[in-house]
Amino acid sequence: MSSQDVQRPICIIGLGLIGGSLLRDLAGYNHHVFGYNHSTSGARTAVKQGFDVTDDLPAILTRAETENALIVIAVPMTAVGEVLDAIQEHAPSCGITDVVSVKKAVRQQVLERGMESRYVGGHPMAGTSQSGWDNSQKDLFRRAAWGITYDYAAECEARGEKIPKQWIETFTEVVRMTQMVHAEAVPIRVANHDAAVARISHLPHVFAEILAVVGDNGGILAQSLSAGSFKDATRVAGTHPELVQQMCETNAPALVEALDEAMDLLRDAREKLDSPEPSIAELTDAGYRARTRIDARSGARKESVSPIKISSRPVLRLHPGGPKWVAQLRQSESLGGRIEIF
């Protein structure tokens, strides 16, 4: 085990696409990892494939407590409260993180239970339109941004309080976990996270659903002619409806703000197309420039001739708990940067 690897076992609660892919990656690196699947058949399938999985939640959490594991909550938002209650009962001292796509709602559940000193929120910006253990895969997170929240540390600092050692250790282990699966740890506070993903994750889901409905309303001929651009734009409409509903409805305030902005752009485009001299030049130019900026920040550097992909996100190396380390997190967040720890 490298000094840069997670120094404790990892217990994953929920083995769908994200949780299952994380378990596959960690097991592939011979890290001590075990998990829970609420589906008995899903758990049995994972066991047959050689993974350490059960459908007994109290038992797996009791084991996590005994082994001092880092617990990763990878269940839908509607099940988070139930899982937190079970953790309080069966694993009262374990550090906790999660992979849920909204952070304010999860943190609120944590705060209500007084568990904030051992919780570090997380969200890997990776996935497919599929779900479930059978669709989980290795290397899903490679070069993906993995948001990691630090509100608790910032609040402790603002109050002039010392950040608890357990929280710092949990934060460190979460960052190390993302590095083990070749993701890029991006520090971010809860409100900023939810505002950002409303624009770049949840709004695209809404648009994908709308485009799919409009295309389908065109009838058999439109369906027959649909090709690359339409299928690219509607890919996430193939996500299970309940998952999309939970994601978007839980982040409704931020999503409504982004949707209002999008509707203003749509209304403007419609007016210009309905004029004597139709034109969407302004929109296409703005969209092209915006996409270029996004690619430049979120992708690999195109100028690199190395076979190793080099991230375009600026990197800041820090020592959790060191002098001014929370200020370093803020700086990295303001740049959309990634962090590495030493």
Predicted local distance difference test score (pLDDT) of residue 188 = 98
Predicted local distance difference test score (pLDDT) of residue 67 = 97
Q: Could you tell me which CATH number the domain at 193-279 has?
A: 1.10.3660.10
Closest-CA residue to 77 (of 242, 258, 255):
242
Predicted local distance difference test score (pLDDT) of residue 304 = 44
pLDDT at 265 over 50: yes
What CA–CA distance (Å, rounded) separates 336 from 16?
28
> What is the side-by-side strand order in the sheet with 10-13?
53-54, 33-36, 10-13, 70-73, 96-98, 119-120
pLDDT at 72 over 80: yes
Pairing of strands 122-124, 145-148: antiparallel
pLDDT band at 306; cut points 50, 70, 90: very low
pLDDT band at 311; cut points 50, 70, 90: confident
What are the extents of the domains in the chain?
10-188+308-341, 193-279
Mean pLDDT over all residues of the chain? Answer: 92
What CA–CA distance (Å, rounded) separates 122 from 179?
13
What CA–CA distance (Å, rounded) separates 233 from 243?
18
- 3-class SS of residue 72: strand
Q: Which residues, listed in sequence order, are joined to residue 318 by a DSSP beta bridge?
A: 341
pLDDT at 221 over 90: yes
Predicted local distance difference test score (pLDDT) of residue 308 = 47
SS3 content of the chain, % helix, strand, coil (to 5): 55, 10, 35
Tell me if 35 sits within 8 A of 13, measured CB to CB. yes
Predicted local distance difference test score (pLDDT) of residue 309 = 61
What CA–CA distance (Å, rounded) separates 82 from 85?
5
Q: Tell me the per-residue pLDDT of 125-181, one tens digit each, with 9 for 90 and over.
A: 987 767 788 788 899 999 999 999 999 999 999 999 999 999 999 999 999 999 999
Please list, in sequence order, all residues whose beta carbon lies within 8 angstroms of the beta carbon of residue 231, skipping any fewer than 6 positions away.
none
Domain spanning 10-188+308-341, CATH architecture: 3-Layer(aba) Sandwich (3.40)
The residue behind tokens 């590495």 is 340
